[in-house]
Amino acid sequence: MTERSPSSVLLQTDALVIADKAHGIPTVPLKSQGPEGTLLGYISSVCPDVLSVRGRNAWEYGAVHRLDTATGGLVVFARTQEMYDHLQAVQAEGLFRKTYLAVTSRGDRLKGMEPDLGKSSFTISSYFRSYGPGAKEVRPVTDASRADSSVLYSTEVEPVSESNVLCTFRCTITRGFRHQIRAHLAWMGYPIVGDVLYGDSASGSSDSLMQLDCVAVSFPMPDGSGFSFCK
């Protein structure tokens, strides 16, 4: 994976915008900040109507979903309230699919399960709890009573390529928890290269990009037709 800077708009329709977020740029601002320096700020300069949408949080406007700052790739923004409300309902129903490519190395720091890499694909499921100073990290847990919520989160994992050093996985989620894919891959002993939170020292260098990129999204449209976009 190579870095793309600055972020760019890949698709515009009357109802939505799909952007390619560069690694290291926040998707949306914090509550106390303006949109400058974020993907939302860039998109609103191209499509100001995303700021007319009332988001789940007022300061997120038309951002339908978010990527971690360190993650790159596709982000969907709604340009109308009707599309935003529709896509929020679609996500709640588990019909909004996001697919990522992750380049990983091997590491045991968070390892807690053994993946069956002989299968063409498999699913990792867990609850999550916040972890560490300032709750900056999360940990997968199998006991809902130890989790932040009773929601079970699943990551579909498909091995793509493997070498003696690196493995690439295609990961798809329909409902996301903070750092879900990063934590799930580290839990199975394959932290993402460049992940300073969940990787071993060899895979978590602070001067390298995290090799996680959202490469495809799909969801039903209001008229019942299917929509998919990949890069």
Encode 117-172 in three state secondary structure.
Answer: CCCCCEEEEEEEEEECHHHCEEEEECCHHHCCCCCCEEEEEEEEEECCCCEEEEEE
For 104-130, write each residue's pLDDT tens digit. Answer: 999 999 999 998 888 999 999 999 999
Based on the domain organization, do 88 and 48 belong to the same domain?
A: yes
Same domain, 162 and 61: no
**Domain C-terminal end among 63, 92, 121:** 92
- pLDDT score for 34: 84
Average pLDDT per 10 consecutive residues for the chain, totaling 231 residues: 65 97 94 89 95 96 96 98 98 97 94 90 97 95 96 97 91 96 97 92 62 98 97 91
In terms of residue numbers, what domain contains 25? 8-92
pLDDT in tens, 56-67: 999 999 999 999
| Pairing assessment for the beta strands 97-104 and 137-141 based on DSSP bridges | unpaired
In this structure, the answer to whether residues 201 and 139 fall within a common structural domain is yes
Residues 133 and 168 in one domain: yes
Q: Does residue 220 belong to any structural domain of this protein?
A: no
Within 8 A by CB and 6+ apart from 225, the residues are none
Model pLDDT, residue 150: 96
Assigned domain for 225 exists: no
pLDDT for the residue 201: 58
Shared-domain flag, residues 59 and 118: no
How high is the pLDDT of residue 93? 95
Residues 202 and 114 in one domain: yes
Looking at the structure, tell me whether residues 206 and 140 fall in a common domain: yes
- Give the pTM: 0.92
What CATH number is associated with residue 88?
A: 3.30.2350.10
- The number of domains in the chain is 2
